[in-house]
Amino acid sequence: MTSGPGRAGPPRAVGAERFRRTLAAHASGVVIITAQNGGVPVGLTATSFSSVSLEPPLVSFYVDRSSTTWPRLGAAGHFAVNILASDQAELAARFARKGADRFAAPTRWRPGPLGAPLLDDVSAHLICLPYDRVTVGDHILVVGLVAEAAVHGSGRPLLYHQGRFGRFLAHPDS
Ligand SMILES: Cc1cc2nc3c(=O)[nH]c(=O)nc-3n(C[C@H](O)[C@H](O)[C@H](O)COP(=O)(O)O)c2cc1C
C-alpha cells in the first residue's frame, strides 16, 4: 500500500507525541534482560518482552539501537529474562537508569547455570540462546530460543501503564 503527495487519505505515520500517548494506554508486564560479558554482568529493563513460538519455544524483546547496554548484551552467548514481581518497581527503575551500577547492592543476584545473572525474588526466569535478530526501525528485534524456564514465588506480576508501575488486580468475575 502506498500513500504519497497528491493522494487522498491519512498521512503515512502518526505524530510522535500522539503515538507515545496512545501506547501508554497499553499495560504490559516488566522484565529485566541480563547477560554476562567477559565476566561483567549487564542488563536492562524492558516492557517489549513477548512470547513468539511454542515449537520451538521462542521469546522476543526489542532493544533501542542507541542503547549503550546493547553492544555488551548482544555480544553475550546467551541471555536471561527475569520476569519481575509486583514489589520490584525500584529494581525496574534501577535497571532503566543510565550510569547506575545496576548490579551493586541493593540488587541481589546470582550467576545462572550458563553464567547470565538471575535476579533474586523474580516471579520467573527464562534462559535463552540467540535465535534471530532483525533491525526494525530504530529498534532491534531479538529472538531467543528458551533453553531453561522456571517459575518462583507467588507469581504476582509487576505491570507498567501510563508511565507508572503498578499491580495486577484480577477481575472479580474471572
Ligand atoms: C518501564 C520501562 C520499559 C522499558 N522497555 C524497554 C524496551 O523494551 N527496550 C529497550 O531498549 N529499552 C527499554 N527501556 C529503557 C531501558 O531500560 C534503559 O533505560 C536503557 O537501556 C538505558 O540505556 P542504556 O542501555 O544506554 O543504559 C525501558 C525502560 C522502562 C522504565
> Is 3's pLDDT higher than 70?
no
79 lines ligand 1 (CB under 6 A): no
Evaluate: CB of 98 within 6 angstroms of ligand 1. yes
Q: How far apart are CA 165 and CA 171, in angstroms?
A: 19
How many structural domains are present in the chain?
1
Q: Give pLDDT tens digits for 67-104.
A: 999 999 999 999 999 999 999 999 999 999 998 999 99
Instruction: Decide whether any atom of ligand 1 lies within 6 Å of the 45 Cβ.
Output: yes
Task: Read off the CATH number of the domain in which 149 is found.
Answer: 2.30.110.10
Residue 8 covered by a domain: no
Number of the ligand 1 atom closest to the C-alpha atom of 49: 8
Q: Which residue puts its alpha carbon closest to atom 11 of ligand 1?
A: 63
Closest approach atom of ligand 1 to CA 97 = 19
- Verify whether ligand 1 is closer than 6 Å to residue 84 (CB atom): no
pLDDT of 60 reads: 98
Q: Is residue 161 part of a domain?
A: yes
Supply the pLDDT for residue 77.
95
Q: Is residue 174 over pLDDT 90?
A: no
* Cβ of 42 less than 6 Å from ligand 1: no
Is the CB of residue 129 less than 8 Å from the CB of residue 144? yes
Secondary-structure percent of the chain, ordered helix, strand, coil, rounded to 5: 10, 45, 45
67 lines ligand 1 (CB under 6 A): yes
- Domain boundaries, position 34: 28-167
**Measured distance CA(34)–CA(95) in Å, rounded:** 10
Supply the pLDDT for residue 7.
57
Confirm whether 117 is domain-assigned: yes
CB atoms within 10 A of CB 149: 14
Q: Are 83 and 72 in contact, with CB atoms under 8 Å apart? A: no
CB 102 within 8 Å of CB 34: no
Q: Is 53 in the pocket of ligand 1 (CB under 6 A)?
A: no
CA of 77 to the centre of ligand 1 (A): 21
With 70 as the cut, is the pLDDT of residue 17 above it?
yes
The percent of residues above 90 in pLDDT, for the chain, comes to 89
31 lines ligand 1 (CB under 6 A): no
The whole-number pLDDT of residue 35 equals 98
Flag whether 23 is in a domain.
Answer: no
Let me know if residue 21 belongs to a domain.
no
Residue 5, in any domain of the structure: no
**Of 6 and 108, which is predicted with more confidence?**
108
Q: What is the pLDDT of residues 141-150, one digit of tens each?
A: 999 999 999 9
